[in-house]
């Protein structure tokens, strides 16, 4: 996995590397500048054959120092570089000042003037090295006047390269402090055609507005070691206070395959149980709604079965039995009208529950959720059943979330989208976060609820109450906009239940992480035109590809 380092963590890592003699500050700056130039030439190989004109915009910190290196390297290739400094040379950090002086040996450092910058020759490339590692305040007016979306019509054809990130983006949160709302973000910060960061990504490259502003992200190696390096930690819960990225490369030959001895269906039969009976792979109960409201439950049940559960039973009100019976074959079907009679449909072989999709909001759903959460491990269970709470199971507690939080246990996972999250955690809602990232908000929520919280979105965050968190980002090369379709969340809830209900399944947060990855991969495999019913049917192909 790749760990996403905050701005402070990245600064600390660089300082430690310098203190340990791994590299000097000048070495790191030179490698960063070279990494940007290499990424540019790789993305647009025609630039290597014909020199262009670059407008290099440098800031008052070490990001500006990277800009000086980039200008020098481009000039060595025959490029014409117009360089402007926001700030003064005497206030630059030592390494940035050294590279400022090196550039002065071959080119001019122009004072920052929006009028002069926008009046100059139209560039082919604009290098944004003003505020790189992330800004927690609005852009200064003189910088916004240059970097704003409509700074100059003649720049429309120029490629924009961001060093670390487009200036104005907060790399800890993915938000834009100067934007009054997300709809106005483009008017405050110009999206980059290419964003080059160093060593490892930051949370803001994947959260909130980050992907839309960064557009194309390249991570350049600058010779650091330690946190952020790829490591094989699939199958383990994340470290407390760390945010790790669910990375495509760790779900290939060395990823899911590595889980097979202890996790994946077909190989996790407990050693003290012989045979291959369906109950050895878990029994999941999915609750469905009343008449005409069973579709969401059926989607979740189908997904749980495809994910590897040995047996899945859909439980619905008696009046809805007939319509569900007409749509189900491999999924079993039972009726339940009184939550107090849960034991009539769930014996002690049940290892997982999924509640919420299509159940309806109200007292009956609340009572069913509480009855399920009260269940302990049965005589034939190895541990307490996992409980996945989604949709209506969450909204039914909007008026009294503390009752839910007091009832959940360590084998519970809440899977809200932002709207449902706001009902349970109004002070952590998107509009109320006040500088908290989505990842931080999910962490706080998980600690408050006392269970795992999966906050859905293209930037899905999975947080444990102890503080560890994973980020699954369906952006950049893994973008799947067609996954935003009715019922997709119900399928995800079923996938989590199916994976987490196995008797020796991994930690719940890991099962949720794998389920989220499979959910996106199934959508990618199917392609545009996807509807929720297609997701479970696409899973076999995905599993065959990654597991062989």
DSSP 3-state helix, strand, coil percentages of the chain (rounded to 5)? Answer: 45, 15, 45
What is the DSSP secondary structure assignment for residue 384, as one 8-state letter? P
Would you say residue 236 lies in a domain?
Answer: no
Please name the residue ranges forming H helices in 221-380.
Answer: 256-259, 295-306, 321-325, 363-373
- pLDDT at residue 71 above 80? yes
pLDDT in tens, 249-263: 555 544 454 444 344
Would you say residue 272 lies in a domain?
Answer: no
Would you say residue 18 lies in a domain?
Answer: yes
Q: Give the 3-state secondary structure of residue 92.
A: coil
Distance of CA 245 to the CA centre of its chain: 7
CB 101 within 8 A of CB 90: no
pLDDT in tens, 127-143: 999 998 767 888 899 99
Put residue 292 in one of left, alpha, beta given phi > 0 → left and psi -120 to 50 → alpha.
left
What is the DSSP secondary structure assignment for residue 150, as one 8-state letter? T
First-to-last CA distance in the chain? Answer: 21
- Apex CA 386: angle with CA 383 and CA 390, to 5°? 170
CATH number at residue 193: 3.40.50.10260
d(CA 159, CA 67): 16
Q: Are residues 172 and 254 in the same domain?
A: no
User: What separation in angstroms does the CA of 116 have from each of 140, 304, 469?
Assistant: 17, 62, 46
pTM: 0.91
Q: Are residues 296 and 171 in the same domain?
A: no
- pLDDT at residue 395 above 80? yes
CB 478 within 8 A of CB 491: no
Sheet of 109-111: strand order equals 109-111, 80-85, 53-58, 125-129, 159-163, 194-198, 217-220
CB 404 within 8 A of CB 372: no
- Apex CA 468: angle with CA 388 and CA 510, to 5°? 45
Phi, psi of 195 (to 5 degrees): -115, 125
d(CA 137, CA 500): 42
What pLDDT shows up at residue 149? Answer: 55
Q: Are residues 255 and 134 in the same domain?
A: no
Please tell me which residue, 505 or 26, carries the higher pLDDT value. 26
Q: Are residues 403 and 307 in the same domain?
A: yes
Unique residue bearing structure tokens 């005497």? 90
What is the DSSP secondary structure assignment for residue 272, as one 8-state letter? T
CATH number at residue 503: 3.40.1190.20
Q: Are residues 405 and 490 in the same domain?
A: yes
End residue of a domain, out of 188, 220, 252: 220
Element (H or E) spanning 84, and its range?
strand 80-85
Would you say residue 229 lies in a domain?
Answer: no
Q: Are residues 402 and 462 in the same domain?
A: yes
Q: What is the mean pLDDT of residues 303-321?
A: 95
Closest to 192 (Cα-Cα) out of 214, 221, 169: 214
Q: Under 8 Å CB-to-CB from 418, ≥6 apart: which residues?
A: 429, 430, 455, 456, 457
Would you say residue 490 lies in a domain?
Answer: yes
Would you say residue 332 lies in a domain?
Answer: yes
Would you say residue 372 lies in a domain?
Answer: yes
HEC per residue, 476-532: HHHCCHHHCCCCHHHHHHHHHHHHHCCCCCCCHHHHHHHHHHHHHHHHHHHCCCCCC
- For the chain, what is the mean pLDDT? 88
- pLDDT at residue 48 above 60? yes
- pLDDT at residue 55 above 70? yes
Would you say residue 238 lies in a domain?
Answer: no
Q: Are residues 135 and 93 in the same domain?
A: yes
Closest to 219 (Cα-Cα) out of 234, 208, 229: 229
Q: Are residues 209 and 247 in the same domain?
A: no
CB 133 within 8 A of CB 7: yes
d(CA 22, CA 479): 36
End residue of a domain, out of 153, 188, 220: 220
pLDDT band at 120 (very low <50, low <70, confident <90, very high): confident
Q: Are residues 290 and 376 in the same domain?
A: yes
Count of the separate structural domains present in the chain: 2
Please tell me which residue, 118 or 400, carries the higher pLDDT value. 400
- pLDDT at residue 151 above 60? no
Q: Give the 3-state secondary structure of residue 283.
A: strand
d(CA 60, CA 517): 40
pLDDT in tens, 465-508: 999 899 999 999 999 999 999 999 999 999 999 999 877 666 88
Q: Are residues 190 and 289 in the same domain?
A: no
d(CA 228, CA 1): 8
Domain region containing 199: 2-220
What pLDDT shows up at residue 267? Answer: 35
d(CA 328, CA 347): 21
Q: Are residues 294 and 403 in the same domain?
A: yes
Q: Are residues 215 and 248 in the same domain?
A: no
pLDDT band at 179 (very low <50, low <70, confident <90, very high): low
Which two structure tokens, joined as six digits, stand for 519? 């959910």
């Amino acid at each position: 996995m790749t760990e996403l380092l905050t701005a402070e963590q990245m600064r600390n890592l660089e300082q430690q590397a310098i203190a340990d003699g791994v590299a000097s500050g000048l070495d790191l700056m030179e490698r960063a500048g070279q990494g940007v130039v290499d990424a540019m030439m790789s993305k647009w190989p025609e630039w290597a054959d014909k020199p262009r004109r670059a407008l290099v915009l440098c800031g008052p910190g070490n990001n500006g120092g990277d800009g000086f290196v980039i200008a020098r390297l481009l000039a060595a290739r025959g490029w014409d570089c117009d360089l402007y400094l926001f700030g003064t040379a005497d206030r630059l950090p030592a390494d940035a000042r050294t590279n400022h002086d090196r550039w002065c040996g071959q080119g001019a450092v122009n004072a920052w003037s929006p009028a002069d910058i926008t009046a100059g020759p139209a560039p082919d490339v604009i290098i944004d090295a003003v505020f790189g590692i992330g800004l927690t305040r609005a852009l200064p007016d003189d910088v916004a006047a240059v970097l704003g979306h409509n700074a100059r019509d003649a720049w429309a054809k120029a490629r924009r390269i961001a060093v670390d990130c487009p200036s104005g983006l907060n790399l800890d949160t993915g938000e834009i402090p100067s934007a009054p709302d997300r709809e106005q973000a483009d008017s405050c910060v110009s999206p980059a055609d290419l964003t080059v960061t160093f060593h490892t990504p930051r949370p803001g490259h994947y959260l909130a507005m980050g992907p839309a502003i960064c557009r194309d992200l390249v991570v350049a190696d600058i010779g650091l070691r330690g946190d952020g390096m790829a490591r094989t930690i699939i199958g383990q819960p994340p470290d407390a206070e760390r945010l790790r990225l669910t990375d495509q490369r760790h779900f290939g030959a060395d990823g899911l395959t590595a889980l097979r001895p202890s996790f994946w269906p077909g190989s996790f039969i407990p050693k003290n149980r012989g045979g291959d009976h369906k109950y050895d792979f878990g029994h999941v109960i999915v609750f469905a709604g009343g008449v005409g409201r069973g579709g969401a439950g059926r989607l979740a049940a189908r997904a749980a079965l495809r994910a590897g559960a040995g047996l899945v039973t859909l439980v619905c009100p008696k009046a809805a039995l007939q319509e569900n019976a007409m749509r189900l074959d491999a999924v079993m079907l039972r009726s339940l009208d009184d939550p107090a009679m849960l034991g009539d449909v769930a014996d002690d072989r049940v290892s997982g529950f999924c509640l919420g999709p299509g159940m309806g909001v109200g007292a009956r759903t609340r009572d069913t959720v509480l009855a399920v959460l009260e269940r302990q491990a049965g005589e034939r269970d190895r541990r307490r059943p996992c409980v996945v709470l989604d949709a209506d199971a969450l909204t039914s507690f909007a008026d009294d979330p503390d009752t839910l939080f007091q009832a959940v246990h360590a084998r519970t996972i809440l899977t809200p989208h932002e709207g449902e999250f706001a009902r349970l955690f109004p002070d952590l809602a998107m509009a109320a976060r006040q500088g908290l990232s989505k990842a931080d908000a999910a962490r706080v929520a998980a600690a408050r609820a006392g269970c795992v919280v999966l906050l859905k979105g293209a930037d899905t965050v999975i947080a444990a109450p102890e503080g560890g968190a994973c980020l699954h980002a369906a952006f950049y090369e893994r973008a799947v906009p067609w996954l935003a379709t009715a019922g997709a969340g119900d399928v995800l809830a079923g996938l989590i239940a199916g994976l987490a209900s196995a008797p020796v399944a991994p930690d719940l947060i890991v099962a949720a992480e794998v389920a989220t990855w499979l959910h996106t991969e199934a959508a990618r495999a199917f392609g545009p035109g996807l509807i929720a019913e297609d997701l479970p049917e696409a899973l076999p192909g995905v599993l065959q590809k990654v597991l062989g």
